[in-house]
Structures are given as structure tokens and as C-alpha cells.
A and B are shown apart, each in its own frame.
Chain A
Amino acid sequence: MKNDILKRIGYKTFLVIFCTGVVFLFWIQLLNQAPVIETIAFVLCIFIPLLLIAVYLSNYILPKVMVRLKKEAIIVFFIIASLLMSLIFALTVKGFSLLEKKNIFEPSLLFCFTDTLSLELLKAIPSVIFINLGFCGMRFYREHLKQEKIKHEFQLKFLQEQITPHFMFNVLNHINTLMQEDVNLASTLLIRYSDILRYQLYNGRKELISLNQEMEFLKNFIEIEKVRWEDKLVVSCSWKIDDNEKEIPPLLFVNLIENAFKHVSRTSSEKGFITITFEQHKNELELMVINSKSIIHSQKNECSGLGLENTAERLDILYPGKYKLFKEETGTTYIVKLNIIALT
């Protein structure tokens, strides 16, 4: 609901209205204590720099810091801004009481007590912090909503882009054919495929899954691909896992492996190979997929980057700054390497 109002009038317009309101209310409080002109000058002198700093802090510094996730930095900025604002507040109060003393403005009820500068400073700090908290809180809430939205959209996209329907229908077509000629192989394929489907439908929706389950899924996937390409492809895998119960987000690697099978050279004249090595040690993980490339130069640039982009986008959300995704293309091979250095 609050979000709706913000959307309709725009965040900036809302800020302007809000600031004007605060200033106006503050000014009304002072009206009967001093002449009108003096109160206007006083209120403007205090609030213009104060609000500018608060808006700058919340609208420009906060979002940047939030993206880079440096929690310490925002506290430092917050303290600096608050101190600066308190100083401006105290100096303005001091300045105006001086002006009254020199009779430029008539003496008023506003500054009947002459506190020292440091005391004024102390008095200003709580209200300034309150203002900053208000502004930053508002902005933080907005950024938070925005990021949640991005996350949800991505989740949806990710669910839609799980192993392609193309793969699924090809497997079903194979099962249909094999049922006529090799019932046992058809049955094996069907069971492996049901495992894949079950994993995608149920575990794919979970936030975390054990490494063991993910590996079973990947192995099933690779076995099916082996059946599909028969002797046109040599596939070798190595799995070194320290802790089978380590938890990872599901379906993180399958795109990289699927891509290799999609783009590997595999015609009867050019036999291809795929090498997959997977290693997990403590909180580190490495997956390397190498596939042979066709020597025949493809006329168009195959969209091999697409799957990788989606994976990178997902990794950015799951492991910001804690992963490396690296690809290399040589004349005859295509290599993709993923390192995650801090599994949680």
C-alpha cells in the first residue's frame, strides 16, 4: 500500500513534500517566539543544509553502499553526516543569537539562554540522528523492496529456464523408440528421467540442497546424454567430494554441463569428447567442463554465451564477490571453469 503511493507520486516528489512539511511544522512552532522574518531566516538556514545532507546521504551514498554490501562504510558515512549536520545546527543557533545580541534582529524568546557551542552541539545530535535515521530508513526500505522484486523475477526466470523442454521431448522420443528395440534400455532411461524430473519439480524449488543429491542429479543427466549420443561422444567425469552433506543451491551447475553437450562436436565423422571434473574441499568448490569444438567453422555465432550469462546472473545473487566464472576458447576446445570460494 505504502509502495503504491510512492509509485504514484514518485519518490522524489514525495521527498520534497515531506521536507516542506517538516520545515513548515517547525516554523509554526517558532512563530509566536520571534518576529516572522527572523523565524523564516532561521528555519531556512538550519533546514536547507540539513535536509540536503540527509537527502544526499540517503539517496546517493546509501544505495551505492548497499550494492557493495559494506556494512561498516554506511555507519562511518552516517556518523560523519550526523556530526556535520549537528555542527551546522549549533553554528546557526549560535550565529542567530549573536545577531540578536548585536541588535540586527530584535531580541526574542528563541535564544534567551546562551549555551556554549559544545552544549548546543550535544543538544542537536539526537534530533539530527533522528532525521538521518528517518531518511535512510525510508530509502533502505525502498531499495530493499526493489532488490526483493529483482530476486523474485529472477527466481521465476530461473525456474522457467531449467533444462529445456527440447531435452525432455527428445528423451521421451528415445524412450518411445527404444521400447520397440531395447526394452531394458528404455526402462533405464525412463527411470533416470523420472529422477531428473522429480529433482527439478521438488528439489529445484528449495533454497538449498545437499551436494550429494545435486551430484546424483547431474550424474543422471550425464548418463541420459551419453545414451543420446552413443558412440559419437566420449564422456569422462571425476567427482571428488569431501562432504556429501554440504549444502548448495540446486541446479546451479546443470546449465554449464548442458551447454557442453549442446555445443560439443558430435557428428559421425568428428567424434567429440567432454571432460567434467568436480571438486569440493571444505568451503571451496571447483567445476571444470571441457568440450571439443567442431573444426568446421560455424557461420553464425552460436548463442553459447546465453546459458553462461544466466548462470553468472544467478551466482551474483547467491555468491556476490565470492565466485569466479571463467571461459576459454581454443581452436579445438571450449573450457568453462567455475570456482566458488565461500560456500556457506
Chain B
Amino acid sequence: MTEIVSKRSDIQPLKCLIVDDESIAVRGISNYIKKISFLVQEDSCSSAAEAVEILKRKEIDLMFLDISMPHMTGIELLETLENVPLTIIATTYSEFAIEGYRLNVTDYLLKPYSFERFSQAVHKAREIFMSHIILQNCGEDYKSNLFIRQGDSFKRISWEEILYAEAMQNYLKLYFKGKTIVIHQKISSLEELLPYDYFFRIHRSFLVNISHIDSLSGGYVNINGRELPLSKQRKVELLKSVVLKNLISK
């Protein structure tokens, strides 16, 4: 059994950043972080602008973010950031939960929250942080055994069921029929793991399973009712190497 993706050390804790304009709220999160063995507080700040600077300078694995802050809200921060770490929103506003979901946040804590609820959220974050696809190579059964590592457990998946994968900076979202899984892996490394003949990178952020493509139209690829963008450079290649080849083989 060989693991192609390098295994992250379990002992290394997640480096956290707290962004909240009220220092008591920062201390509240800080106190909770101290109680969780796999978290360590790297830094804290009171505005989105400061957060941008810190994220440029330091490596942050998990960010706790308030929404209502002067000048720039937490939501705006998430929209402007290029490289978003795993994010847990901690706010008093319940009405931004849907926005948060759109921006792929890990969890949404409503102030005030209990330590149990906090712990649940950070465990979810850790699960995503630890999860990546591992390939079990069993000689002849080439590239057929894929596992998703979630914390200490492994979950078997078959690549035929993957519809497509969407990149979100250091993470990616795997779409199956009826469910999605977020894993901590770059889309390029996933591309290496999956059978080359069946998966095609149609865009910087999208890797699709060719057998699930419903239609191609203009600059878009339709899969499972969603329109995915098809970049110009890849369009020709997709048509040539994939669609035509498949047609001929039939």
C-alpha cells in the first residue's frame, strides 16, 4: 500500500487567526482555543484590513471571523481574499448563514455559543484539514481503490461516482450525485490521482468526469444541471482528445 499524497503529521496543530473588532470576543475564542489540543493561536486582529496583512505574512490554517466590523465586513473579506484559509464565522447575525455557505465557510457560530458547539465546529474544520484522497495501489487493479481520509477514518469512494471537482484555493469540493465532500487537497494533486482518460481539467478550478458530461455548449460544460465554465485553451483539446476519440471508439 503506497500513499501518493504526502501524509501530514497528526501532531502538528492548526494555526488559528481570530478576527473580531471586540477584544472580549477575541479573548473568548482565545480561551476556547487553549482548551483544544489540536489548535494553536497564531495571531488576532480587530479589522478585516489587518487580517489581509496577517494572511500575507503568516501561514494560517483556520480563521475565526466576525461579520460586523468597521470599514470592511467579514463577508467582504472572504470575497476579496485570494487564498482563504478554513474559516469559521462567529457572529451575532443569523441572516448571513446563506452567504457563508456560498463562500464555503466551514461552520457558522452564533454568539454566544457554548464550548461544545465551538468544539464541534473546530473538529469539523480539522476533519476537512486532515482529509485528502489516498490511492491504494493494488497492482493489476489499477487506480480503482480510492479512499478519503477523514480524521482517523478512511472512507472508500469509487472515482466513477465523482461528477466533478471544484477548487477552492487549498481545498476542493468533490461533487457526487446528492452529496458533496470538502477535502484539503489541491486540484492538481487530485488530477494526478484520478485516471487520466476519464478526468479532464476544463478550467483552472474545475476537473470533470467525462462520462458524466450531459452537454457541451458554447463556453460551458453541463453536468448534473450545473453549468461549468470551459476555458478557451482547453476547449479545442477537450473536443479533440475526448469527445472525438470517444465517438470513434464507439
Q: Report A's interface with B, CB cutoff 8 A.
A: 165-166, 169-170, 172-178, 180-181, 227-230, 232, 263, 265-269, 294, 296, 298-299
Residues in A neighbouring B58, C-beta threshold 8 A? none
Chain A nearest CB: distance from B71 CB in Å?
Answer: 5
Closest to A297 in B: B71
Given known A176-B112, A227-B24, A266-B21, contact A232–B71 (CB-CB < 8 A)? no
- The residue on A at minimum CB distance from B69 is A267
- Asked whether, in the complex, the Cβ of B23 is within 8 Å of the Cβ of A173, the reply is no
Kindly state the separation between the CA atoms of A266 and B35 in the bound complex, as whole angstroms: 29
Prevailing SS type, chain B contact patch: loop
B24: chain A residues within 8 A (beta carbon): 173-174, 177-178, 227-228, 230
Q: Which residues of B contact A176 (CB under 8 A)?
A: 28, 112
Are A172 and B50 also in contact (CB < 8 A) when A177-B27, A265-B70, A267-B70 are?
no
Residues of B within 8 A of A177 (CB): 24-25, 27-28, 31, 112
Residues in A whose Cβ lies below 8 Å from that of B21: 266-267
List 8 tightest A-B contacts by C-beta distance, closest first: A177-B28, A169-B92, A173-B111, A173-B112, A176-B112, A174-B24, A172-B112, A267-B47
Cross-chain pairs A/B with CB under 8 angstroms, 22 sampled: A165-B92, A166-B92, A166-B93, A169-B112, A172-B112, A173-B24, A174-B22, A174-B25, A177-B25, A177-B31, A178-B24, A180-B31, A230-B23, A230-B24, A266-B21, A267-B21, A267-B47, A267-B50, A268-B46, A294-B71, A298-B71, A299-B72
State the B residues within 8 Å of A (CB).
21-25, 27-28, 31, 45-47, 49-50, 68, 70-72, 92-93, 110-113
Give, as a whole number of angstroms, the nearest-CB distance from B124 to chain A: 21
Residues of A within 8 A of B113 (CB): 173
Which chain B residue shows the least CB distance to A165? B92
List, in ascending order, chain A residues with CB within 8 A of B28's CB. 173-174, 176-177, 180
Q: Which residues of A contact B93 (CB under 8 A)?
A: 166
Contacts of A228 in B (CB 8 A): 22, 24
Q: In the assembled complex, which residues on chain A have CB atoms less than 8 Å from the CB atom of B110?
A: 169
Min CB gap B213→A, angstroms:
41
> Nearest chain A CB to B79's CB is how many angstroms away?
12
CB of B91 to closest CB in A, whole Å: 9
CB within 8 Å for A181 and B111 given contacts A173-B92, A296-B49, A298-B71:
no
Residue among A177, A228, A232, A294 facing the most chain B CB atoms (10 A cut-off): A177
Which residue of chain B is the closest to A229 with respect to CB atoms? B22
B31, B68, B112 — most chain A CB neighbours (10 Å): B112
The smallest C-beta distance from A180 to any residue of chain B, in angstroms, reads 6
Q: In the complex, A286→B148 CA distance in Å? A: 67
